[in-house]
Structure 1
């Protein structure tokens, strides 16, 4: 799997939501290898999108289409400033990835010097599922320099906040402290999802 993350300031949220829905309706059917996406706006007006493709090649083929170029120009025109893009070939799924049933999504961006350590933490799914039943699934996308984007799908924000109050085991606390030392959290309180 390949993940592309994009984000940037956008105050024209209804128009942007409609444009992303238009992409799903009109362009997705011919975007070979597109698997789906998670989208939303933070409280301070950041648009965040996490888009999944079968491979980097499929994503590049989609970007090279003339109709995609025309659509992207319309998207840029709705932004209040430049967009950031992050391309990730190294993708780990937690509980089969995200969930289109989520009521709340947190996108966490950070950087680690040992990506294998971060991925090992995601592999202990039994303990995590028992401790945090509010987590429906997640994706962990890592760039070559150790920058990561974790997208966590929760049943609801209330459940997520309640789950945060339960201290994890000491070894898990240690690993979380390592992973989140430089992290920024983007809360998507009204996320929406698209799937192939």
Structure 2
């Protein structure tokens, strides 16, 4: 799997949402290898999209379509500033990889010097994690070449997620979490929406 994350400031949120919906309706049928996407707006007006493809090659093939370029130009016109793009070939599914039924999504961006340690921690014992945190439906962990990571976690609801945050993990898990999240930034998508192939 290949993940591309896009992020940028956007105050014209209704228009941006309609444009993104139009992509799913009009362009997704011709997008080879497109699997789906998770989108939302943060409290400070950032548009975030986490888009999944079967491979980098499929994603680049989509980017090279003329109609995709025209659509992207319209999106840029709605933004209040430049967008960031993060391309990740190294993708790990957490539990079932998330859910389009999630009521709340958290995007976590950070950087580690040992991505294999991060992946091992996130996939060590998903059964125990689900028992401890039933509010977590799953997610994805996408890692760039420099160790930067984008973790997308789907929750049943924001209220359940906030309650789950109060659960103290075992000491060995806390140690690993502290390592992974020491420089992380959290982006809350209170009203996420999803697209799937």
- Residue 4 of structure 2: aligned partner: 4
Instruction: After superposition, give the CA deviation of every residue in 1:40-59 in whole Å (9 maximum; x if it has no partner).
Output: 00011000000000000000
Shift of 1:70: 0.2
SS of residue in 2 equivalent to 1:73: helix
SS of residue in 1 equivalent to 2:108: strand
- Residue 82 of structure 2: aligned partner: 82
Q: Which runs of 5+ in 2 are unaligned?
A: none
Shift of 1:97: 0.5
| Partner Cα separation in structure 1 for residue 156 and residue 96 of structure 2 | 15
- Residue 114 of structure 1: aligned partner: 114
Taking structure 2 as the reference length, what is the TM-score of the superposition?
A: 0.99
The answer to whether residue 181 in structure 2 is matched with residue 180 in structure 1 is yes
SS of residue in 2 equivalent to 1:69: helix
- Residue 65 of structure 2: aligned partner: 65
| Partner Cα separation in structure 2 for residue 143 and residue 96 of structure 1 | 22
Q: Which runs of 5+ in 1 are unaligned?
A: none
Q: Is the CA contact (8 Å cut-off) linking 2:103 and 2:155 kept in structure 1? A: yes
Instruction: After superposition, give the CA deviation of every residue in 1:157-177 in whole Å (9 maximum; x if it has no partner).
Output: 000000000100000100000
The answer to whether residue 136 in structure 2 is matched with residue 139 in structure 1 is no
Taking structure 1 as the reference length, what is the TM-score of the superposition?
A: 0.99
Shift of 1:95: 1.4
| Partner Cα separation in structure 2 for residue 86 and residue 191 of structure 1 | 19
Q: Is the CA contact (8 Å cut-off) linking 2:9 and 2:81 kept in structure 1? A: yes
| Partner Cα separation in structure 2 for residue 173 and residue 162 of structure 1 | 17
Alignment of 1:1-196 (within 5 A): 1-123=1-123, 124-196=125-197
Q: Is the CA contact (8 Å cut-off) linking 2:96 and 2:137 kept in structure 1? A: no
Q: Which runs of 4+ in 1 moved over 3 A?
A: none
Cα RMSD, aligned residues only? 0.4
| Partner Cα separation in structure 2 for residue 39 and residue 162 of structure 1 | 23
| Partner Cα separation in structure 2 for residue 73 and residue 156 of structure 1 | 34
| Partner Cα separation in structure 2 for residue 131 and residue 111 of structure 1 | 26
Shift of 1:126: 1.4
Shift of 1:122: 1.3
Q: Report how many aligned residue pairs link the two structures.
A: 196
Shift of 1:2: 0.1
Shift of 1:61: 0.1
